[in-house]
Amino acid sequence: MIKLRRIGFSYAFLAPSLLLTVVLGIYPIGWAIRYMFFDYKGYGEAKFVGLDNFERLYRDGPFWHSVANTFVYAGGKLILTIPLSLVLAVVLNRAFRGRSALRAIYFMPTIISSSVMAVVFYILFNSYNGILNQYLLKLGLISVPIPWLGPKHAMLTTILIAAWGAVGNYMLLFLAGLQNIPRDVYESSSLDGANRWQQFRYLTLPMLGPVLQIVVMLAIINALKGYESIMVLTDGGPIGKTEVMYLYVYKLFFPTPSASYVPDQQFGYGSAVGFATAVIVGVVTLGYHLLSRRLNRLQ
Amino acid sequence: MIKQVGTAALVGALTVAVAACGSGGGNGGGSAASPTGSSEAASSAPASAKPAGKIKLSYWTGDRHDQDYIKEIVQKFNDTNPDGIEVEMVVKTDDFNQAIDLAFSSGQAPDLIRVKENTIQPWAKKGYLEPIDSYLTDEFKRKFPAIPDFNVIDGKTYSLPNYGSTIRLVYNKDLFKKAGIAELPKTLAEMVEDAKKLTAAGKADGAYGFAQNFKSTQSALFRSARVIAEASGYGGLGYDFKTARYDWNGYKEIIQAFKQMVDDGSTMPGMESLDIDPLRAQFAEGKIGMYLSFSSEPGVYKDQFPAKIDWAAAPAPTIDGTVKGKTSLLGGQWLAISAQSKNKDAAWKFMQYMYGDDILKTYQEKGFGLSMVPEIAKIAGKPNIVGIDGFLPTENDGTWPLEPTSAIKVEGELATDVFFKYMLSGGDLDAMIQDLNKRYNDALDKAIAAGEAKAEPDPGFDPMKIR
pLDDT digits (tens, 9 = 90+) for A119-128: 999 999 988 8
**Contact assessment for residue B229 and residue B416, using Cβ atoms and an 8 Å cutoff:** no
Share of chain B above pLDDT 70, in %: 88
Gap between the terminal Cα atoms of chain B? 71
Q: Which of B349, B374, B393 is the last residue of a domain?
A: B393
Instruction: Give the tens place of pLDDT for each residue, B202-215.
Output: 999 999 999 999 98
Residue B434 near chain A (CB below 8 Å): no
Q: Which residues 322-351 of B are in CB contact (within 8 Å) with A?
A: 328, 330
- Which H or E run includes B55? strand B55-61
The pLDDT-based confidence of A8 (bands split at 50, 70, 90) is: confident
A63-94 burial, b for 16+ CB within 10 Å, e for fewer? bebbbebbebbbebbbebbbebbbebbbebbe
Q: B97 and A262 in contact by Cβ < 8 A? A: yes
Using an 8 Å CB-CB cutoff, list chain B residues near A170.
none
B183 and B285, same domain (yes or no): yes
| Residue B38: predicted pLDDT | 36
- Segments forming the whole domain that contains residue A169: 47-54+61-298
Q: Which of B367, B393, B419 is the last residue of a domain?
A: B393
Cβ neighbours for A180, distance < 8 A, ≥ 6 positions apart: A211
Q: A258 and B216 in contact by Cβ < 8 A? A: yes
Q: What is the CATH number of the domain that holds B140?
A: 3.40.190.10
Q: Please count the CA atoms within 13 angstroms of the CA of A42 that sit on its side-chain side.
A: 23
Residue B106 near chain A (CB below 8 Å): no
If one counts the domains in chain B, the total is 2
Residue B15 near chain A (CB below 8 Å): yes
CA distance B129 to chain A (A): 13
| Residue B88: predicted pLDDT | 95
Q: A239 and B425 in contact by Cβ < 8 A? A: yes
By three-state DSSP, how is residue B144 classified?
A: coil
| Residue A294: predicted pLDDT | 86
- Whether the pLDDT of residue B48 is over 70: the answer is no
Backbone angles phi, psi at B399, to 5 degrees: -95, 115
CA distances from B371 to B160, B164, B393 (A): 12, 6, 9
| Residue A254: predicted pLDDT | 85
pLDDT (average), residues A160-176: 93
Q: What is the mean pLDDT of chain A?
A: 90
Residue of B nearest to A42 (CA): B126
Q: B330 and A113 in contact by Cβ < 8 A? A: no
Evaluated on CA atoms B29, B32, B37, B39, the torsion sign reads negative
Using an 8 Å CB-CB cutoff, list chain A residues near B7.
100, 104
Q: B222 and A258 in contact by Cβ < 8 A? A: yes
Give all strands of the β-sheet with B370-371 in edge-to-edge order.
Answer: B330-331, B163-165, B370-371
Position A249: which residue type?
V
| Residue A290: predicted pLDDT | 92
Using an 8 Å CB-CB cutoff, list chain A residues near B417.
239-240
B192 and B269, same domain (yes or no): yes
Instruction: Give the tens place of pLDDT for each residue, B283-313.
Output: 999 999 999 999 889 988 988 899 999 999 9
B149 and B180, same domain (yes or no): no
Share of chain B above pLDDT 90, in %: 65
| Residue A259: predicted pLDDT | 64
DSSP state of A31: H
* Nearest CB neighbour to A112, from listed B5, B16, B236: B16
Q: Please count the CA atoms within 13 angstroms of the CA of A272 that sit on its side-chain side.
A: 20
A216 in any annotated domain: yes
| Residue A95: predicted pLDDT | 84
Position A35: which residue type?
Y
- Whether the pLDDT of residue B422 is over 50: the answer is yes
A231 in any annotated domain: yes
A167 in any annotated domain: yes
To test the contact with chain B by mutation, choose from A128, A158, A172, A269 the residue with the greatest count of B C-beta atoms within 10 A, namely: A128
Cβ neighbours for B436, distance < 8 A, ≥ 6 positions apart: B238, B246, B248, B415, B418
B466 in any annotated domain: no
The pLDDT-based confidence of A186 (bands split at 50, 70, 90) is: confident
Q: B219 and A258 in contact by Cβ < 8 A? A: yes
A27 in any annotated domain: no
B33 in any annotated domain: no
B289 and B425, same domain (yes or no): yes
pLDDT (average), residues A168-188: 91
Beta strands in B218-329 (DSSP E): 239-240, 245-246, 288-294, 311-314, 327-328
If one counts the domains in chain A, the total is 1
| Residue B385: predicted pLDDT | 86
B242 and B254, same domain (yes or no): yes
| Residue A1: predicted pLDDT | 66
**Contact assessment for residue B223 and residue B281, using Cβ atoms and an 8 Å cutoff:** no
- Whether the pLDDT of residue B383 is over 80: the answer is yes
The pLDDT-based confidence of A83 (bands split at 50, 70, 90) is: very high
| Residue A80: predicted pLDDT | 96
Phi-psi region of B85 (alpha: psi -120 to 50; beta: other; left: phi over 0): beta
- Whether the pLDDT of residue B414 is over 70: the answer is yes
The pLDDT-based confidence of A260 (bands split at 50, 70, 90) is: low
Q: A122 and B237 in contact by Cβ < 8 A? A: no
B64 in any annotated domain: yes
Question: In chain B, what is the greatest distance between 2 CA atoms, to the nearest angstrom?
Answer: 78
- Whether the pLDDT of residue B267 is over 60: the answer is yes
Q: Please count the CA atoms within 13 angstroms of the CA of B26 that sit on its side-chain side.
A: 10
Distance CA A194, CA B162 (A): 82
B211 and B292, same domain (yes or no): yes
Q: A260 and B274 in contact by Cβ < 8 A? A: no
Higher pLDDT, A5 or B79: B79
Residue B417 near chain A (CB below 8 Å): yes
Instruction: Give the tens place of pLDDT for each residue, A261-289.
Output: 777 788 999 999 999 999 999 999 999 99
B236 and B97, same domain (yes or no): no
Q: B424 and A104 in contact by Cβ < 8 A? A: no
CA distance A130 to chain B (A): 10
Using an 8 Å CB-CB cutoff, list chain A residues near B216.
235, 256, 258
| Residue B446: predicted pLDDT | 92
Backbone angles phi, psi at B275, to 5 degrees: -90, 170
Using an 8 Å CB-CB cutoff, list chain B residues near A126.
270, 273-274, 278
**Contact assessment for residue A237 and residue A126, using Cβ atoms and an 8 Å cutoff:** no
Using an 8 Å CB-CB cutoff, list chain A residues near B62.
none
B105 in any annotated domain: yes
* Nearest CB neighbour to B12, from listed A111, A176, A235: A111
Distance CA B231, CA B397 (A): 9
Closest CA to B203 of B264, B259, B260, B266: B266
The pLDDT-based confidence of B18 (bands split at 50, 70, 90) is: very low
DSSP state of B116: -
- Segments forming the whole domain that contains residue B295: 167-328+401-449
A196-200, A294-298, B195-199, B200-204: segment of lowest average pLDDT: A294-298
Q: A107 and B118 in contact by Cβ < 8 A? A: no
Gap between the terminal Cα atoms of chain A? 47
Distance CA B233, CA A100 (A): 68
A91 in any annotated domain: yes
| Residue A54: predicted pLDDT | 95
pLDDT (average), residues A139-154: 90
Share of chain A above pLDDT 90, in %: 56
Instruction: Give the tens place of pLDDT for each residue, B149-173.
Output: 899 999 999 999 999 899 999 999 9
To test the contact with chain B by mutation, choose from A38, A93, A239, A247 the residue with the greatest count of B C-beta atoms within 10 A, namely: A239
Q: A43 and B407 in contact by Cβ < 8 A? A: no
A189-193, A223-227, B47-51: segment of lowest average pLDDT: B47-51
B310 and B211, same domain (yes or no): yes
**Burial of A160 by CB count in 10 Å (0-12 exposed, 13-18 middle, 19+ buried)?**
middle
| Residue B15: predicted pLDDT | 38
Q: B294 and A262 in contact by Cβ < 8 A? A: no
Position B380: which residue type?
A
The pLDDT-based confidence of A299 (bands split at 50, 70, 90) is: low
| Residue B252: predicted pLDDT | 97
Q: B413 and A61 in contact by Cβ < 8 A? A: yes
Spell out the SS3 assignment of A129-166: CCHHHHHHHHCCCCCCCCCCCCCCCHHHHHHHHHHHHH
Q: B16 and A111 in contact by Cβ < 8 A? A: yes
Cβ neighbours for A197, distance < 8 A, ≥ 6 positions apart: none
**Contact assessment for residue A39 and residue A52, using Cβ atoms and an 8 Å cutoff:** yes
| Residue A205: predicted pLDDT | 87
**Contact assessment for residue B119 and residue B406, using Cβ atoms and an 8 Å cutoff:** no
B192 and B155, same domain (yes or no): no
Q: What is the CATH number of the domain that holds A85?
A: 1.10.3720.10
- Whether the pLDDT of residue A114 is over 60: the answer is yes
How many contacts (CB atoms, under 8 Å) link A and B?
157
Distance CA B128, CA B39 (A): 17
| Residue B46: predicted pLDDT | 40
Residue B204 near chain A (CB below 8 Å): no
Instruction: Give the tens place of pLDDT for each residue, B109-129.
Output: 999 999 998 889 889 988 999
To test the contact with chain A by mutation, choose from B273, B288, B340, B425 the residue with the greatest count of A C-beta atoms within 10 A, namely: B273
Residue B217 near chain A (CB below 8 Å): yes
**Burial of A173 by CB count in 10 Å (0-12 exposed, 13-18 middle, 19+ buried)?**
middle
DSSP state of B89: E
In terms of average pLDDT, the best of A190-199, B2-11, B63-72, B255-264 is B255-264
B229 and B317, same domain (yes or no): yes
In terms of average pLDDT, the best of A42-51, A182-191, A254-263, B167-176 is B167-176
Phi-psi region of B238 (alpha: psi -120 to 50; beta: other; left: phi over 0): left
CA distances from B41 to B49, B83, B86 (A): 11, 14, 10
By three-state DSSP, how is residue B214 classified?
A: coil
- Whether the pLDDT of residue B75 is over 80: the answer is yes
B152 and B65, same domain (yes or no): yes
Q: A237 and B214 in contact by Cβ < 8 A? A: yes
The pLDDT-based confidence of B7 (bands split at 50, 70, 90) is: very low
**Contact assessment for residue A202 and residue A65, using Cβ atoms and an 8 Å cutoff:** no
pLDDT (average), residues A13-24: 92
**Contact assessment for residue B161 and residue B331, using Cβ atoms and an 8 Å cutoff:** yes
B13 in any annotated domain: no
In terms of average pLDDT, the best of A232-241, B66-75, B435-444 is B435-444
B224 and B347, same domain (yes or no): no
